[in-house]
């Protein structure tokens, strides 16, 4: 392989490596920017809901939940913004090294090119070239010399093109570098504003926690009462699901003690569709923020207390409508004593439950479509909070809604 081909392959390899690295960093930066914008939208939602409920006197339990939630989102926003700034710093350093390397390469290329031009000028006399060919010992040597003249000319042309390409690349990197420095400054400025907001939230949180700790027994009693109410509703839902499983098995002539559904072909197809949309299901409300996540977790007020959540609690706007997250059939409309209405929708061997509804727009046996309104979420008149509790079940086993709902 001659020198020209080696040079060409070296340039190609450099370009490929440069592009691969660039794409990787660019994708990471896009991913971080998407996450940052999501967090900013979430903060806007929190602030909107706070303004909506400003005239209402919230319970201290609800206020602590609000503070904890916003502090968590602000911390995540700062973390993501720092990651973006750090990535840009690495890109800036990388670009500065590339600029330095390119300048050195260009300097050497120009020096080589200048020497080549001088040499070419001295030997460009047509008579000199003819004499160079005629002085060959045989035809084979003459042919090799002709190839050399052609390769030398090609190499000269390639050097000129390489200089032009590297000069353009250098200009592009310099332009990109200036933009990166501007972007980094913007992120740093935004982070300072976020840090101040976080400090304010933390101070208010500390003041409220001091007040709460003076009467911790009262709040512990309230927390336990709320947990008992949630357990009562979940027990009722569990009873309905188990009854539906037993009914399906009896209808199919199977043992009624089975813990799994005897699905019809249509039911199996619906369950398969539901499963294939894992992580892509629509939200059960148009606008909302998750104030309590799924699973067993310590309570934000009394960390020694463990609370169990079979679903998520979503804060939404007043008069918000609960929507079916997927096609299905209303399997129950549950009116529970001292609690608001629950609607359950079946999707094959999966169920979704929409709790704390004030008005209901569907009845048992209704077929519902994705995003169809099934009821209006209850707004607490004493504190102005509008909370939808939402759960997903596979048979009678609870599922984490965050794994199923799009970007929850």
The domain boundary, picked from 188, 213, 238, lies at 213
Asked if 313 and 292 count as a contact pair (C-beta separation under 8 A), the reply is yes
Question: Based on the domain organization, do 124 and 253 belong to the same domain?
Answer: no
Q: What residues form DSSP beta bridges with 309? A: 295
Of 5-14, 101-110, 375-384, the one with minimum mean pLDDT is: 5-14
The phi and psi torsions of 5 (rounded to 5 degrees) equal: -65, -40
Q: Between residues 86 and 127, which one has the greater pLDDT?
A: 86
Counting every residue, how long is the chain? 408
Distance CA 68, CA 48 (A): 17
* Mean pLDDT over the full length of the chain: 83
The answer to which of 134-138, 152-156, 232-236, 242-246 has the lowest mean pLDDT is: 152-156
Structure confidence at residue 373 (pLDDT): 98
Residues of the chain with pLDDT > 90, as a percent, come to 38
What backbone torsions phi and psi does residue 277 show, to the nearest 5 degrees? -100, 15
* Inter-CA distances, 324 with 25, 73, 276, 351, 408, Å: 39, 27, 17, 11, 16
The structure tokens 């939404």 sit at: 316
State the pLDDT at residue 179.
84
State whether 145 and 284 are in the same domain: no
**Which residue among 158, 179, 213 closes a domain?**
213
Instruction: Please say if the pLDDT value at position 314 is more than 60.
Output: yes
- Of 25-29, 99-103, 206-210, give the lowest mean pLDDT range: 99-103
For residue range 37-79, what is the model confidence (pLDDT) as tens digits?
988 888 888 888 777 766 555 677 778 878 888 898 999 999 9
Do 249 and 175 fall within a single domain? no
Q: Kindly state whether residues 281 and 312 are assigned to the same domain.
A: yes
Measured between alpha carbons, how far is 313 from 385 in angstroms, rounded to an integer?
12
pLDDT of 154 strictly over 80? no
pLDDT at 8: 47
- pLDDT of 254 reads 87
Asked whether residue 39 falls in the same domain as residue 185, the answer is: yes
pLDDT at 267: 94
Residue 196 lies in a domain: yes
User: Quick one: which of 104, 98, 102, 99 has its CA closest to 21?
Assistant: 98
- Report if residue 133 sits inside a domain: yes
- Does residue 276 share a domain with residue 198? no
Let me know if residue 218 belongs to a domain.
no
Do 176 and 238 have their domain in common? no
pLDDT above 70 covers a percentage of the chain that reads 80
Within this chain, do residues 16 and 154 fall inside the same structural domain, yes or no?
Answer: yes
Of 296, 291, 358, whose CA–CA distance to 322 is shortest?
358
pLDDT at 113: 61
Between 224 and 271, the more confident residue is 271
Q: Which domain does 46 fall in, by range?
A: 3-213
Three-state secondary structure string covering the chain: CCHHHHHHHHHHHHHHHHHHHHHHHHHHHHHHHHHHHHHHHHHHHHHHHHHHCCCCCCCHHHHHHHHHHHHHHHHHHHHHHHHHHHHHHHHHHHHHHHHHHHHHHHHHHHHHHHHHHHHHHHCCCHHHHHHHHHCCCCHHHHHHHHHHHHHHHHHHHHHHHHHHHHHHHHHHHHHHHHHHHHHHHHHHHHHHHHHHHHHHHHHHHHHHHHHHHCCHHHHHHHHHHHHHHHHHHHHHHHHHHHHHHHHHHHHCCCCCCCCCCCCCHHHHHHHHHHHHCCCCECCCCCCCEEEECCEEEECCCCCCCEEEECCEEEEECCCCEEECCCCEEEEEEECCCCCCEEEEEEECCEEEEEEEEEEECCCCCCEECCCCEEEEECECCCCCCEEEEEEEEECCEEECHHHCECCC
CB 356 within 8 A of CB 30: no
C-alpha atoms less than 13 angstroms from C-alpha of 115 in its C-beta half-sphere: 5
Q: In which band, very low, low, confident or very high, does the pLDDT at 222 lie, cut at 50, 70 and 90?
A: confident
Q: Are residues 189 and 277 in the same domain?
A: no
More confident residue, 258 or 342: 342
Final residue of a domain: which of 182, 213, 244? 213
Does residue 219 lie within any of the structural domains?
no
Is residue 392 in a domain?
A: yes
pLDDT band for 336, please (50, 70, 90 cuts): confident
Output the pLDDT for position 343. 98
What is the phi/psi pair of residue 405, to 5°?
Answer: -85, 140
Q: State the average pLDDT over residues 269-279.
A: 97
Q: CATH number for the domain including 248?
A: 2.70.70.10
Residue 225 lies in a domain: no
pLDDT of residue 149: 58
Q: Is residue 175 part of a domain?
A: yes
> What tens digit of pLDDT does each residue of 390-406 get?
999 999 999 999 999 99
pLDDT > 50? residue 6: no
Task: Specify whether 193 is located in the same domain as 240.
Answer: no
Q: How many CB atoms lie within 10 A of CB 330?
A: 19
- Do residues 200 and 285 both lie within one domain? no
pTM for the whole structure:
0.67
pLDDT digit string, tens, across residues 258-273 = 889 999 999 999 999 9
Interacting residues of 395 by C-beta distance below 8 A, sequence separation 6+:
241, 245, 259, 260, 261, 349
The rounded radius of gyration (Å) of the Cα atoms in the chain is 35
Domain count, the chain: 2
């Amino acid at each position: 392989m001659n020198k020209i081909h080696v040079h060409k392959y070296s340039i190609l390899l450099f370009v490929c490596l440069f592009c691969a690295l660039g794409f990787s960093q660019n994708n990471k930066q896009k991913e971080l920017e998407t996450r940052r914008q999501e967090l900013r939208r979430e903060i806007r939602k929190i602030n909107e809901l706070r303004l909506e409920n400003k005239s209402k006197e919230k319970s201290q339990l609800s206020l602590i939940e609000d503070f904890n939630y916003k502090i968590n989102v602000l911390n995540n926003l700062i973390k993501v913004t720092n990651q973006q700034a750090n990535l840009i710093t690495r890109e800036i350093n990388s670009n500065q090294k590339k600029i330095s390397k390119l300048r050195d390469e260009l300097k050497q290329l120009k020096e080589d090119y200048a020497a080549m031009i001088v040499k070419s000028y001295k030997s460009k006399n047509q008579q000199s070239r003819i004499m160079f060919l005629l002085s060959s010992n045989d035809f084979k040597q003459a042919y090799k010399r002709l190839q050399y003249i052609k390769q030398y000319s090609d190499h000269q042309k390639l050097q000129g093109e390489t200089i032009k390409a590297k000069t353009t690349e250098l200009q592009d990197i310099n332009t990109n570098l200036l933009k990166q420095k501007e972007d980094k400054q913007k992120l740093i400025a935004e982070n300072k504003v976020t840090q101040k907001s976080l400090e304010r939230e933390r101070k208010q949180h500390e003041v409220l926690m001091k007040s709460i700790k003076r009467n911790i027994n009262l709040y512990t009693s309230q927390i336990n009462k709320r947990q008992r109410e949630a357990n009562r509703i979940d027990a009722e839902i569990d009873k309905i699901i188990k009854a539906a499983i037993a009914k399906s098995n009896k209808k199919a002539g199977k043992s009624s003690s089975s813990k799994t559904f005897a699905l019809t072909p249509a039911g199996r197809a619906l369950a398969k569709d539901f499963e294939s949309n894992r992580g892509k299901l629509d939200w059960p409300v148009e606008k909302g923020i998750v104030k309590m996540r799924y699973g067993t977790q310590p309570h934000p007020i009394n960390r020694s207390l463990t609370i169990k959540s079979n679903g998520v609690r979503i804060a939404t706007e007043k008069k918000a409508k609960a929507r079916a997250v997927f096609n299905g059939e209303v399997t129950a409309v549950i009116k529970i004593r001292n609690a608001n209405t629950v609607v359950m929708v079946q999707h094959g061997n999966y169920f979704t439950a929409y709790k704390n509804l004030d008005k209901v727009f569907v009845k048992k046996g209704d077929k519902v479509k994705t995003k169809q309104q099934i009821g209006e979420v209850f707004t607490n008149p004493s504190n102005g909070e509008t909370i939808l509790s939402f759960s997903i079940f596979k048979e009678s086993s609870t599922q984490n809604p965050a794994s199923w709902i799009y970007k929850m």
